[in-house]
A and B are shown apart, each in its own frame.
Chain A
Amino acid sequence: MRVQFKLNHKEVSFNVHPGESLFEVLRREGNYEVKGSNCRDGSCGACTVLLDGVPVPSCTILIGRVEGREVETIESLGDMENLHPLQRAFLENGAVQCGYCIPGILLVAKALLDRDPNPSREEIEEELSGNICRCTGYVQQIEAIERAAELLREERK
């Protein structure tokens, strides 16, 4: 079957098998910025994308559900030359080690800051709790999200 949706603000259309997940389609179509840990149950968060602005593990979303909707991957945040404040804060705060969980975590953080520009530490910890990071122990990521919130608030001023 054919499925059409918006991917990082561009209309795309792919031939898919109806039993595929959004994750499988994105990877097959070369969207390697979406990483996967093979957990297959959405419990690791690595493959997170924003589906109509809501962070979801793309491995749990059947592709048929995506028709006509809007998908954002880490590509929508910023590129190497123009980093999003979240990406900058992650680098400046040592919040990245192997980096495999990072695209998912950044998207979760983006959705959080879009909703609440000044989240408490507890809210950040809560919102991050569906993304496993085996390297950092989370502390520097939580600090980086706090820092990014600051940067974004300054930008808005």
Chain B
Amino acid sequence: MKKYRVVGQDVEKVDGRALVTGQPVFTDDFSLPGMLYGKILRSPYAHALIKEINASEAEKLKGVEAVFTYKNVPRKAYTTAGQGYPEPSPYDSFIFDKKVRFVGDRVAAVFAESLSIAEEALSLIKVEYEELPAILDPEDALKDGAPVIHDEPEIQGAHDPSRNIVSHVDLEIGDVDQALRDSDFVVEGIWETQYAQHCPMEAHIAIAYLDERGKLVIRSSTQVPFHARRILSFLLGIPISKIRVIKPRIGGGFGAKQEVLIEDLVALATLKTKRPARLELTREEEFVSSRTMHPMKVKVRLGADKEGMLKAIEMDILSNTGAYGAHGPTVFFNAGSKTLPLYNKAENVRFTGNVVYTNLPVAGAYRGYGATEGYFALECAIDELARKMGIDPLILRQKNHIRPGETSPIFKKLGEGREGVPQTVESCGLEECIENGRELFEWEKKRSLPREVAPGIYRGYGMAIMMQGSAIPLVDMASATIKMNEDGSFLLLVGATDLGTGSDTILAQIACEEIGIPVKNITVYSSDTDFTPFDKGAYASSTTYLSGEAVRKAARKVKEQILTVAHILLGASGDLVIEDGLVKEVGTGKTLTLEEIGLRSFYMADQRQIQATASHVSEVSPPPFAAHFVEVEVDTRTGKITPILYVAAVDCGVAVNPQLTRGQIIGSIVNGLGFALSEGLVFNTRGMPLNPNFLDYKVLSSLDIPEIEVILVETHEPSGPFGAKSVAEICINGPLPAVANAVYDALGIQLKKAPFTAESVLRLLGKI
């Protein structure tokens, strides 16, 4: 494999120094004179009509500058989902509506001189509700006579709102029923995931102000600054040219900030009052009223022959998108499109299901994006099949998983809420992932040990394999601009949205590798819709792969411009290379500094700005692959599951920065372990969340994590920058099935509903 100078190195995070010294880099680390503070009034009912809303007392309160309700804002159906245009999500949301559809839905907003005044004003808004019957179970959404959650005439893009169906798919390749009949072994089951929330440490926050031109500037904690600008323009009826969105450093997003949730309100306040306006969600609002993972019931049926070859896979999903359908169709599609091609030996595949509205919090994009839910079912079913056949589940996987040079019809059939794009898998290190993980984990040795290690204490060993994608092919575009200064330093301007992932660093490394300079010679700016070129934003495992390739292309153009000047200056006819910031003539050893080139270009001859912009759209979405292994301990007296050792072998192509890559892998595994062990919103019978806080929504702490070993299995993806694929999402998919499979291995019980609480373990053991 080709050796790189900058790519593949553990380069220090380019924003790292600012972050470890606590510099004012986040949205809220910034204050403007005269800034107003906003608060949102939320619905106490799961489903109700607002019969009357009277804000006159609130408006009269001293210090209140603006109050918004459905009565004084534009009424336009839109989607909060920050996706490419036209969005595959239904237009079913309004800034404010006469109807509220979940506990925590928007009712009104107040902007005032201080937060306390805004809070007081909220209590002065009089609302009369007419409570409607609510749907609190997705199964009920489809029943005849069920309440209709979206009966507004403006709704667009939902499959059948009158039946609460956002999206519906009925896809079959081959003949699944026949293949199942012909199979020697058939298994089936239903696996269910919970209401999980992203819990970024920084809550959603946005600050709006008018600049000296009267332009609306929005500084926002967003993963999608360009989509946010487009959506705001549409929603508020002001031209794109009058809006600028700035994304500073982001305190985590994980998909929750791939939505436009508060920017519209600060924009309205600033447009109305001409004053800066700030709005930040409380932690409770973050849990209840921002976005969550899609709770799904995933039914899987598998059929295999005597040799252990899969003949049929059927996946049927009921996905709960909550009160609004942001990302509803696409997350559902991904539950199939990112999972089913993994077992491409099965010639008969069926993918069916519905995404339904309920009167519960709104599900959206969450790292993994449906694949997490799909893999929980699929990988548990694979283990079940192996047990039925009496073979090692590792071997069953080896027999059936996709390999380099192979394809799956699913790639074409299932895309982003529509048809996908056919592709052949070029790079695939899954075999090595399984092999290396198996070896480090000591799979066979561990599985031959007695499971009871002390009275009532059992150990179990489980695994799962998985893939994801890299970017959305033929949909999403990324671009980058690189400029050279006269001292030979560079500026990299990207719309790509580093939300803590380290993408600014990765993109700097890619630019520097291509040009031939060290990372210290480049400054990265992300993202500002007025000063950085378009990028779709941070989602769909796109940045390294898609934005990275745009950066590489721009860097190549810049390099060509530099070399053109260098040829003239050196009077050289032969090959020139740039290494460590010096231009060298191959053979003669003559050198030239980039500063000399920069000065000449600016001031002396053939004057010009050395710079280039490049854009990139991918025709494929090459999957990263991974094999996960976990050892758990279960205390059968309390039911508590403790993960002991977690091994993740991951093929993400060339790891541009192995240390940051490892961070993405470990971080997503620990989040996934949270899904498996403890996370989940709990609701009362009126749809009110009971645990919207860190006291009772249990994210894992440093004391809850197992020993985690990461193995990077490097492959070279020909379509990616320097062979890279994506890595940010894939590993969140492993813990649910791997832990469930390990617990089965320990105790012979099948955990089919996440999270796997101690109580659920004891119930399955028949102890309570």
Do any CB atoms of chain A lie under 8 A from CB atoms of chain B in the complex? yes
Cα separation A98 to B199 with both chains bound (whole Å): 13
Q: What are 8 residue pairs bridging A and B, where the CB atoms are less than 8 Å apart in the complex?
A: A37-B202, A39-B693, A87-B21, A91-B20, A99-B500, A102-B20, A136-B666, A136-B670
Is B201 a contact of A132 with CB atoms below 8 Å? yes
A46 at the interface (CB under 8 A from B): yes
Residues of A within 8 A of B693 (CB): 39, 41, 43
| A79 to B, closest residue via Cβ | B21
Q: A74-B21, A99-B20, A129-B701 are in contact. List 17 more A-B contacts (CB 8 A).
A: A32-B22, A35-B22, A38-B282, A43-B693, A43-B694, A94-B659, A98-B249, A99-B15, A99-B249, A100-B26, A100-B201, A102-B19, A134-B201, A134-B252, A134-B671, A138-B705, A140-B663
Residues of B within 8 A of A106 (CB): 20
A44 at the interface (CB under 8 A from B): yes
| B115 to A, closest residue via Cβ | A24
Is A83 a contact of B17 with CB atoms below 8 Å? yes
Is A140 a contact of B20 with CB atoms below 8 Å? no
Q: How far is the CB of A73 from chain B (nearest CB, A)?
A: 7
The 6 A-B residue pairs with the shortest CB-CB distance in the complex, in nearest-first order = A98-B500, A33-B22, A99-B19, A137-B670, A100-B251, A32-B29
A125 at the interface (CB under 8 A from B): yes
Is A135 a contact of B695 with CB atoms below 8 Å? no
B320 at the interface (CB under 8 A from A): no
Residues of B within 8 A of A83 (CB): 17, 20-21
Q: How far is the CB of A13 from chain B (nearest CB, A)?
A: 20
Residues of A within 8 A of B669 (CB): 137
Residues of B within 8 A of A79 (CB): 21
B703 at the interface (CB under 8 A from A): yes
Residues of B within 8 A of A142 (CB): 702
Given contact pairs A38-B283, A87-B20, A87-B21, A125 touches B13 in the complex (Cβ within 8 A): no
B89 at the interface (CB under 8 A from A): no
B581 at the interface (CB under 8 A from A): no
Interface residue total, chain A, C-beta cutoff 8 A = 54
Interface string of A116-157 (1 = CB under 8 A from B): 000000001110111111111111111000000000000000
Residues of A within 8 A of B202 (CB): 35, 37, 98, 100
Cα separation A19 to B668 with both chains bound (whole Å): 39
Interface string of B28-71 (1 = CB under 8 A from A): 11110000000000000000000000000000000000000000
Given contact pairs A33-B22, A125-B702, A139-B708, A97 touches B694 in the complex (Cβ within 8 A): no
A2 at the interface (CB under 8 A from B): no
**From B198, B282, B500, residue with most partner A Cβ within 10 Å:** B500
Given contact pairs A100-B26, A125-B703, A126-B703, A44 touches B17 in the complex (Cβ within 8 A): no
Cα separation A16 to B25 with both chains bound (whole Å): 26
A23 at the interface (CB under 8 A from B): no
Is B201 a contact of A98 with CB atoms below 8 Å? yes
B572 at the interface (CB under 8 A from A): no
B286 at the interface (CB under 8 A from A): yes
A92 at the interface (CB under 8 A from B): yes
| B282 to A, closest residue via Cβ | A38
Is B663 a contact of A38 with CB atoms below 8 Å? no
Is B670 a contact of A39 with CB atoms below 8 Å? no
Given contact pairs A39-B283, A100-B251, A128-B702, A80 touches B21 in the complex (Cβ within 8 A): yes
| A133 to B, closest residue via Cβ | B201
Cα separation A126 to B704 with both chains bound (whole Å): 10
**From A38, A78, A79, A103, residue with most partner B Cβ within 10 Å:** A38
Interface string of B495-539 (1 = CB under 8 A from A): 000011110000000000000000000000000000000000000
| B667 to A, closest residue via Cβ | A137
Is B663 a contact of A97 with CB atoms below 8 Å? yes
B629 at the interface (CB under 8 A from A): no
Residues of B within 8 A of A132 (CB): 199, 201, 694, 699, 701
Cα separation A37 to B221 with both chains bound (whole Å): 13
Given contact pairs A94-B662, A100-B26, A137-B666, A37 touches B705 in the complex (Cβ within 8 A): no
Is B659 a contact of A35 with CB atoms below 8 Å? no
| A87 to B, closest residue via Cβ | B20
B16 at the interface (CB under 8 A from A): yes
| B13 to A, closest residue via Cβ | A96
Q: How far is the CB of A155 from chain B (nearest CB, A)?
A: 18
| A125 to B, closest residue via Cβ | B702
Residues of A within 8 A of B764 (CB): none
Is B694 a contact of A44 with CB atoms below 8 Å? yes
Is A35 a contact of B26 with CB atoms below 8 Å? yes
B84 at the interface (CB under 8 A from A): no
Is B12 a contact of A98 with CB atoms below 8 Å? no
Interface residues of A (CB under 8 A from B): 30, 32-35, 37-41, 43-44, 46, 73-75, 77-80, 83, 87, 90-94, 96-103, 106, 124-126, 128-142
**From A30, A43, A90, residue with most partner B Cβ within 10 Å:** A43
Residues of A within 8 A of B157 (CB): none
B254 at the interface (CB under 8 A from A): yes
Q: CB within 8 A of B500: which of A44, A93, A128, A135?
A: A135
Cα separation A72 to B622 with both chains bound (whole Å): 48
B23 at the interface (CB under 8 A from A): yes
Cα separation A39 to B282 with both chains bound (whole Å): 8
Is A140 a contact of B662 with CB atoms below 8 Å? yes
B435 at the interface (CB under 8 A from A): no
B250 at the interface (CB under 8 A from A): yes
| B24 to A, closest residue via Cβ | A32
Residues of A within 8 A of B705 (CB): 137-139
Cα separation A106 to B660 with both chains bound (whole Å): 19
Cα separation A92 to B11 with both chains bound (whole Å): 9
| B31 to A, closest residue via Cβ | A30
Q: CB within 8 A of B281: which of A35, A38, A93?
A: A38
| A130 to B, closest residue via Cβ | B701
Cα separation A9 to B23 with both chains bound (whole Å): 19
Q: How far is the CB of B154 from chain A (nearest CB, A)?
A: 33
Residues of A within 8 A of B20 (CB): 74, 83, 87, 90-91, 96, 99, 102, 106
Q: How far is the CB of A71 from chain B (nearest CB, A)?
A: 14
Residues of B within 8 A of A44 (CB): 201, 694
Q: CB within 8 A of B702: which of A39, A100, A134, A138?
A: A138
Residues of B within 8 A of A125 (CB): 702-703
Cα separation A74 to B701 with both chains bound (whole Å): 22
| B30 to A, closest residue via Cβ | A32
Q: How far is the CB of B411 from chain A (nearest CB, A)?
A: 31
Residues of A within 8 A of B199 (CB): 132, 134
| B203 to A, closest residue via Cβ | A38
Q: How far is the CB of B161 from chain A (nearest CB, A)?
A: 34
Residues of A within 8 A of B671 (CB): 134, 137
Is B666 a contact of A98 with CB atoms below 8 Å? no
B200 at the interface (CB under 8 A from A): yes
Q: CB within 8 A of B663: which of A43, A91, A135?
A: A135
**From A40, A96, A99, A140, residue with most partner B Cβ within 10 Å:** A99
Cα separation A129 to B704 with both chains bound (whole Å): 9
Q: How far is the CB of B204 from chain A (nearest CB, A)?
A: 10
Cα separation A46 to B724 with both chains bound (whole Å): 34
**From B13, B30, B667, residue with most partner A Cβ within 10 Å:** B667
| B499 to A, closest residue via Cβ | A98
Q: How far is the CB of B272 from chain A (nearest CB, A)?
A: 25
Q: How far is the CB of B26 from chain A (nearest CB, A)?
A: 7
Is B200 a contact of A97 with CB atoms below 8 Å? no
Given contact pairs A103-B22, A129-B702, A40 touches B283 in the complex (Cβ within 8 A): yes
Q: How far is the CB of B746 from chain A (nearest CB, A)?
A: 23
B18 at the interface (CB under 8 A from A): yes
| B731 to A, closest residue via Cβ | A137
B426 at the interface (CB under 8 A from A): no
Q: CB within 8 A of B12: which of A43, A92, A129?
A: A92
